[in-house]
Amino acid sequence: MADQNPTPSGQFVFTPEQGELRTAVRRFGAEHSDEAAVRRLMESTPRFDQKAWARLGSELGVLGLGVPEDLDGSGGGIVDAAIAVEELGAALFCGPVFGTLALSIPALVAAPDTPVRAETLGPLVAGVRTAAFAVPDRGGRFAADAVTVRAIGSGDEWTVSGTVERVVDAGAADDLLVAATGPDGVALFVVDATGSGVERTPLSTLDLTRPQATVRFAGAPARLLAGPAETAPVCRHALQVGAVLLAAEQVGGAQHLLDLSVAYAKERLQFGRPIGSFQAVKHRLADMLVDQEHARTAAYYAAWTLQDGTDDRELAASIAQATCSTAFTRIAADTVQVHGGIGFTWEHRTHLYFKRAFTDAVLLGSAEEHRARIAELVLDAAPARYEVPVATG
């Protein structure tokens, strides 16, 4: 976790162990996620290297970050998970990071202590199975009124029927966490994605490294993970962690693009001079750096808030998403501009990140939706003394 004692300058710092974690995941990304590997995997079935994914869980322990050790996790906290996800985002790693690490595992950690949780969580942490989160949200908030799946049964015998659209990482998932309306309200279930009564239809998406699928259930056997009383807080926790880890991924992608832009500005010559010597390019790069630093600060403050409970979790998560989505899309667009003619070709690697940036920007709520929520949360909490007096008489 991040050092909770400020340095003499008043800044929080990462621990040496977190530096080692960053180095290890960065080395893993360089080994398994260079541009050639990304292009090969995003056209394959499944769209990730299962051996590399297993290594993330068993060897590096990344999939267990934020999971207590008594649940077979690696310990640590959300800050540690954010560091790992940032580096995976920088490498544009092809794998079910969003569906498994960012959403399903946090949901399972927050779920009631039952055999279903233990049986589902262990294999995910070990990297031998993957999961997707088939739960509706509205702007990153759990939307119980948007649940389109119905559950029938009681006790240990349940089936689910209905359709969930656009589920990230569902196409190759082994388990699906599904919100369904039962006799007593909305509950959360675990469904074997390869079992009977489950049909998955892959969708054509802008970002081929982040696959989505429509999932149809027709009397699919399901195991109860959380009842109606627990489902809302479990899903709320998962979506908040997911938003913060998505923000960390956006920070990683944006940093990679900034590094690419600076390097290109140093080596690309025009009129006998590096283009980085021209004022217009300098200003653009400086603006990109400012956006990136704002995004990094917002993402890690939100991760620290979720980990230590030091501030409003929902507010911090929305600030992170509003800031990081805007920064990543803006830096992606500016990277294309800095690279000039070559940057406009879809074959150039900047466009792999460009597509990821604009796809991430609409997951778990747009920047505009999160800004509206920030205003709602801040203004609703504002003291009455800030109200504008109304003239009378």
pLDDT in tens, 358-376: 999 999 999 999 999 999 9
* pLDDT in the model for residue 226: 98
- Structural domain harbouring 305: 233-382
Domain boundary among 175, 203, 230: 230
Q: Is residue 8 part of a domain?
A: no
Asked if 367 and 243 sit in the same domain, the reply is: yes
Query: What is the per-residue pLDDT for 107?
Result: 98
Q: Do 108 and 92 share a domain, yes or no? A: yes
Same-domain check for residues 138 and 259: no
In a domain, 387, yes or no: no
Based on the fold, state whether residues 253 and 375 are members of the same structural domain. Answer: yes
**Structural domain includes residue 284:** yes
Domain shared by 254 and 225, yes or no: no
pLDDT score, position 368: 96
Q: pLDDT value at position 310? A: 80
pLDDT at position 390, please?
Answer: 56
Separation between Cα atoms, residue 273 and residue 256, nearest integer Å: 24
CB neighbourhood size of 196 (10 A): 10
Other CB atoms within 10 Å distance of the CB of residue 285: 18
Q: Which of 241, 280, 300, 266 minimizes the C-alpha distance to 100?
A: 241
**CB of 36 closer than 8 Å to CB of 43:** no
Assess if residue 9 is contained within a domain. Answer: no
Mean pLDDT of the 156-178 span: 97
Do residue 46 and residue 68 come from a single domain?
A: yes
Six token digits for residue 291: 């956006």
Last residue of a domain, one of 126, 149, 167: 126
Q: 1 in a domain, yes or no?
A: no
pLDDT at 258: 97
Please identify which residue in the block is written with the tokens 């998932």: 173
Residues 361 and 248 in one domain: yes
pLDDT tens digits, one per residue of 91-119: 999 999 999 999 999 999 999 999 999 99
Note whether 225 and 322 are same-domain residues: no
Mean pLDDT of the chain: 93
Weakest mean pLDDT among 259-273, 281-295, 365-379? 259-273
Residue 261 belongs to some domain of the structure: yes
| Residues 237 and 377 both lie in one domain | yes
In a domain, 244, yes or no: yes
Residue 5 lies in a domain: no
Least confident of 5-14, 40-49, 168-177, 202-211: 5-14
Please give the structure tokens belonging to residue 119. 């049986």
Residue 309: per-residue pLDDT: 84
Which of 270 and 129 is assigned the larger pLDDT? 129
Specify the CATH number for the domain of residue 305. Answer: 1.20.140.10
**Residues 40, 96 within the same domain:** yes
Average pLDDT over residues 329-350: 92
Q: Are residues 249 and 305 in the same domain?
A: yes
pTM of the predicted protein model: 0.93
Residues 302 and 342 in one domain: yes
If one counts the domains in the chain, the total is: 3
Q: Please report which confidence band the pLDDT of residue 5 belongs to, taking 50, 70 and 90 as the band edges.
A: very low
Q: Could you tell me what percentage of the chain is helix, strand and coil, using 3-state DSSP and rounding each to the nearest 5?
A: 55, 20, 30
Instruction: Give the per-residue pLDDT at 269.
Output: 74
Give the CATH number, domain containing residue 186: 2.40.110.10
Q: Which of 209, 230, 251 is the last residue of a domain?
A: 230
Q: By C-alpha distance, which of 86, 83, 68 is closest to 2? A: 83
In this structure, what is the dihedral angle of CA atoms 230, 231, 233, 239, given to the nearest 10 degrees?
160
* CATH number of domain containing 62: 1.10.540.10
